């Protein structure tokens, strides 16, 4: 049964003229960089409230007295990723698509080492970077100071960060705001600066989660060019984005997740076309891929 529109995330599509025609430039795939084998990730929420279908008739006083009390004795298990297996190679850029709650961000966090698998194995060749430095950037510090912190977190020396500062600031395109605290930035400005810092050096495995949804056509083009450079230097890139046009333009392969399982994995044009037909209610979700 096809999903209703209210079950689907909004697909932020960009104008076709803002994107280059065709996909990313060709590069030769190298050895495996990421191997995911029968991965399961489960969240356990302790003290989850059990809802009753029967209406309650508590008095106003009882409701007031009950406020602030913790709920104990129950728990909920969220099975976010269910038996996912795939192999990524050096030189690939892989788009990950799916509706909200399909497990996209959870999968990236597991590959990045930020979440432990409940079952299965993950093997990564090199150092994975989930948009590189998001976790270490500080909102109360200036963009300039965060450039230094982020660069050091990526393994660069202080001198190397200073040498590349102008390139980072120019790529981010935030002008004099680089001297202001990051808490004054718009979401788009923060995303552009994080992307600029994260890609100042070539990571072995770069994972980008929704960071390319903001910015004008010029920034999207620069981002695509930088992803191509990383691939050409034998890196591997994973991209989660709402825009199917961006996914097709930037990726050599697309994985479609649904309810934590892979339902399609392959050519970007074919997979994104099937996904768009699904979001329009023109086709059901394919059966999970068995590996």
pTM, rounded to two decimals: 0.73
Residue 278 scores a pLDDT above 90:
yes
Residues 6+ away with beta carbon under 8 Å from 159: none
Whether 133 and 149 have beta carbons less than 8 Å apart is answered as yes
d(CA 178, CA 79): 41
Does 49 or 282 have the greater pLDDT score? Answer: 282
Which band of pLDDT confidence, cut at 50, 70 and 90, is reported for residue 147? very high
Q: What is the radius of gyration, based on Cα positions, of the chain?
A: 21
Domains in the chain with CATH codes: 30-46+71-131+205-216+232-291 (3.40.50.300), 133-202 (no CATH)
What does the block give as tokens for 135?
Answer: 């976790």
Ranges of beta strands (E only) in 90-180 are 93-97, 119-124, 128-130
Whether 291 and 85 have beta carbons less than 8 Å apart is answered as yes
d(CA 217, CA 16): 10
**Mean pLDDT, residues 190-203 taken together:** 84
Looking at every residue in the chain, the average pLDDT score rounds to 80
Q: What percent of the chain shows pLDDT beyond 70? A: 76
Which band of pLDDT confidence, cut at 50, 70 and 90, is reported for residue 81? very high
d(CA 133, CA 241): 19
Q: What percent of the chain shows pLDDT beyond 90? A: 41
Does 239 or 3 have the greater pLDDT score? Answer: 239
Whether 258 and 7 have beta carbons less than 8 Å apart is answered as no
């Amino acid at each position: 049964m096809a999903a209703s529109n209210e079950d689907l995330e909004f697909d932020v599509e960009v104008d076709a003229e803002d994107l280059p025609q065709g996909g990313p430039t060709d590069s030769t795939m190298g050895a495996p960089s990421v191997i995911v084998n029968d991965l399961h990730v489960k969240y356990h929420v302790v003290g989850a409230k059990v809802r009753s279908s029967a209406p309650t008739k508590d008095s106003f006083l009882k409701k007031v007295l009950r406020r602030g009390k913790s709920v104990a004795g129950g728990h909920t298990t969220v099975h976010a990723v269910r038996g996912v297996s795939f192999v990524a190679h050096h030189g690939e850029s892989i788009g990950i698509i799916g509706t909200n709650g399909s497990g996209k961000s959870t999968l990236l966090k597991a590959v990045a080492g930020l979440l432990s698998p409940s079952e299965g194995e993950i093997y990564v060749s090199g150092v994975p970077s989930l948009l590189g430095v998001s976790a270490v950037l500080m909102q109360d510090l200036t963009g300039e100071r965060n450039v230094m912190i982020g660069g050091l977190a990526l393994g660069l020396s202080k001198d190397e960060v200073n040498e590349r500062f102008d390139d980072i600031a120019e790529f981010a395109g935030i002008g004099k705001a680089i001297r202001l605290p990051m808490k004054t930035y718009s979401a788009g400005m923060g995303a552009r600066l994080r992307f600029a810092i994260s890609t100042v050096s070539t990571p072995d495995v770069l994972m980008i989660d929704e960071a390319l949804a903001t910015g004008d056509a010029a920034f999207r083009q620069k981002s695509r060019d930088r992803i191509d450079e990383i691939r050409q230097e034998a890196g591997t890139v994973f991209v989660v984005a709402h825009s199917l046009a961006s996914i097709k333009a930037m990726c050599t392969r697309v994985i479609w997740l649904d309810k934590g399982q892979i339902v399609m994995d392959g050519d970007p044009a074919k997979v994104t076309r099937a996904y768009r037909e699904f979001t329009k209610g023109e086709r059901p979700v394919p059966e999970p891929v068995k590996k």
